[in-house]
Every structure is written in C-alpha cells, then in structure tokens.
A and B are shown apart, each in its own frame.
Chain A
C-alpha cells in the first residue's frame, strides 16, 4: 500500500528490491536460427510487492519468470533474488513457483503434495523453517480435504494445493506463471481475491504472469507491460487502487481507466 514510488530502471541492484533484473537478454536456438526471447530487460521488483506481468504471446513474460526461477539460462545480463544468484536462491528455497497446471502428483493426497518440498532437495534448515502442511492447506481454504487425491479435487482446488505447496518453505518471493489461466472466470475471480488475502497475510513478494488485462490490473500494485518480438519492457504501470481490494472495484472508473491504459499499451506493442 505504501509501494507507490515509481521504480525507474536503476544502474545497480537496489537494496530494497526482492528481485533485480539487469540488462537481461535470453536467446533460444530454433530451426529458424536464433530467437531473441528477451532483450535488455531491466526491472526491480520491490520487496513485499505484488507485480503482475502482462503482454502479448511471444513477449517473453514466462521466460522472464523462468529466468528468475533458474529454469532458463540468461544469455546476457544478471538477475539477483534477495541479493543472491538465482541458483543460490533456488537452493535456499527463497522462491516458490506455481505453474499454469497445478502439477500435483496424482498418487499423493493434497496434504502429501504440500509436503513434497520437505522431502526432496535435502536441506535440514529449510525443513525446520517450513510451515506445517495442515496450516498451509488452511491458509488456502482447503481444510477437510487433506486426504483427497488430485483427481477428486476441482481445477481451482488443485491450484490452491499448488499454492500451498509453493508457500510451505515460507519463500520470500512467489513466482506464478498464469496460475489461473485454465480456470473458469468465476473460480478465477474468487482465487484472485484469495491470492490478495494470502499476499497480505504472508507478506510474500509476488510476481504474477497473466494474459488477462483485468487480472493484471486487479492483482498488481504495478503492472509490467512487455512488448513482443523481441520481448522487452514497454512500461511499468502503477495501479492506484487501495488495498484490500474487492472484486466490486473492477466496476469503478479508476479501474476501468487503468485497464483502458493497459489495453492501449498492448495494442501499440
């Protein structure tokens, strides 16, 4: 709520930035030669903030998120997460990741899926610092469904389990790659509201990739708009809506002005 100062691209990593991206370029080899997915991207994500990333397909928003998560190797430039390299941050469990599909293990109950991060990647310190799986299921509103198998849960419930799993090691940063993209609109609206509640309860920095303009505007304190071919930063838009936000705010003039601005940016990409 106090994160309203404009974050301009800065020469060095900023102290209060949870994630700091400097001149990031990512290229892929394809049949048609080298494809530039991201070019010279520089952005700071403030600690405790909620930044959404919006852009047309091919703008590299998922690639940017995956580079932060150490799933994609940068071709040039640097990323720091809480002042560490991405691979150090990954090993320290500084970030959690939520994929578009819930990616639950179908043979594990909801509770055992949430517990998975405590069983692999072997670091005693992360396990000690972790929350209790039961508490996390409660946080995402799934108390009573602990022993349900994934196929017995709805798509929205599965995504709640995935969020609980991503939060179990109390990460300082939560990376979300179109997590609600496959859900129906009603479920998606509900989960948007719940995500804001979880964000405020946990104080986690959230970076949220979406291709939905209303979702980006409703969730984000800031919306990072990316342009395609090659992927680059178009604008970092600040959304001046007070928190806690309610779904009804989407009918206000202020919200519609923001979405209109975002739409205009996307059309000029």
Chain B
C-alpha cells in the first residue's frame, strides 16, 4: 500500500517537473532567437565600425531609454491617449454602422461603396487633409487612429452578425422570436469571434495611426519625436522611441487578447 502511494506521489512530482520542463522548452527557442539577434546586431556594428548616427548598438539604445526617460514618457502619454481614443471611437462607429447594415440592406447598398472608397485612400494622404481641417491638436490624430481601425472592424462585424446558421433562425422562428430578440440573443454572440479578430488588428494599427498623425505638423507625441530624432541624427533616441511605440502596441494587443479569452469561453460545435 505504502509503496503504491509513494510511487503515486513520485509520479505526481515527476509530472510537475516534466510540465515545467516542457513550458521551459516552449519558451527557450524564441528567447534564444531574440538574444541571438541582439548579439548579431551588436556584433555587426562592432565588426564593421558603424557610426552611432547611422545605427546605435543595443547598449546605447538601453542607456538612452534610461537617460531620456522623462522626455520619452512626456511624448508617450499623448500618443497612448490618441491611439486609445481612436481605437475606441473608430471601432464603436464601425460596430454601430455594421448593426445598421445588417438591419437595413438598402443602407448597406448605399454606404458600403463609400466605406470601401475611404479605405482605399492611403492613410498617409488623409492625414494632411485632416490636419488642415482640425489643426495640429489631438483631434486629427484621434481621427486618423480611428479611421485606420474602422474598416477591418466594419467588414468583420457585418460578417459576424450574419454568421448565424439558417437552422438557428428556423429555431427562433418556431419560438416566435422577434428580430430584436434574435439580435440580442444570437447575432451579438455569434459576431464576437469575428469582432475580436478585427480588434486584434485594430489594437496595433491604431498606434500606427496616431504616430502617422503626429508626423504631420505636430510638436508632441512619439511620432513627432521620431521625426525630430531622425533630422538630428539622434539614432539611439529614434530607436528608443520606436521601441516604446512597439511596446505600447504589444500592450494593447495583449489587453484585447485577454478580454477575448475572458469573454469567449465557448468553442464552435462541430456537428457530425
């Protein structure tokens, strides 16, 4: 008896170590790749004697991140706010328009081509137009960040709201459910996986939108800092700024993924 329970405990401990080893094994390759790339970067610059103003070493970038921390933070806050606000409103408007499209086919026929047309204009070309109209405050940046989120969310949300099987609609008809009930009980939930696919894209593109907005006639934000650092050949600052922008996009992406995991706990049922 004792030997049996002993072996059970041993196997439980063994299983735990094995699981830990497997988790470590999963994380090791990407970690090694990152370390390898940084070492290669440092190596190339040392071997070929690349001057700092063309490309800084990783060490220089890190020390700039520390020494320029107040400056970087001061410019990070507006960019973060613009991308967040743009993300929120761009997606909200897209969701509301998608709902209108699904409820009213003729509104879709009227406005969908316009939405497609706006989407075909490069965002970099819209930015100056918006700066001329709204000045160089927060507004044009928020609009650009929102605009860049808008289209993928609109397209996905329309598809998601329509992704209801004919049989489910038959079921709701047998239950004499109203259109409103079908919307709140069925369509909203069916659209969630589609919506989150779009939101994950939007989480990173909204940061791009805010930075593009700041490139044109702005004296604050990470975008303005990128321009300034480039013109002054302060490449360690340029790299540090880019790193901050990328980190913010990763934070937004992770936040969206986190909410998605909490909200969508179900899996599609595969019949047959």
Contacts and interface: CB of A to CB of B under 8 A. Distances in A.
Q: Bound pair: A and B? A: yes
Interface of A: 66, 69-71, 90-91, 93, 95-97, 99-107, 116-117, 119-123, 149-151, 155, 158, 182
A103 B175 contact: no
Contacts of B167: 99-101, 103
Contacts of B271: 101-102, 155, 182
Contacts of A69: 174
Contacts of A91: 176
B170 A121 contact: no
Given A120-B185, A149-B266, A103 B171 contact: yes
Nearest to B268: A106
B174 A71 contact: yes
B173 A119 contact: no
B180 to A, nearest CB: 10
B165 interface: yes
Q: Which of A71, A104, A121 has the most CB of B within 10 A?
A: A121
A44 to B, nearest CB: 22
Q: Which of A70, A71, A93, A105 has the most CB of B within 10 A?
A: A105
Interface of B: 165, 167-168, 170-178, 181, 185-186, 189, 264-272
Contacts of A122: 178, 181
Contacts of B172: 120
19 contacts: A71-B174, A90-B176, A93-B175, A95-B174, A97-B174, A101-B167, A101-B271, A104-B269, A105-B185, A106-B268, A120-B185, A121-B176, A122-B181, A149-B265, A149-B267, A151-B266, A151-B270, A155-B271, A182-B272
A107 B168 contact: no
Contact of B175 (A105, A106, A121, A155): A121
Given A71-B174, A105-B189, A155-B271, 15 more contacts: A70-B173, A70-B174, A71-B173, A90-B176, A91-B176, A95-B174, A99-B170, A99-B171, A105-B185, A120-B172, A120-B178, A121-B176, A122-B181, A158-B269, A182-B271
Contact of A119 (B185, B264, B266, B269): B185
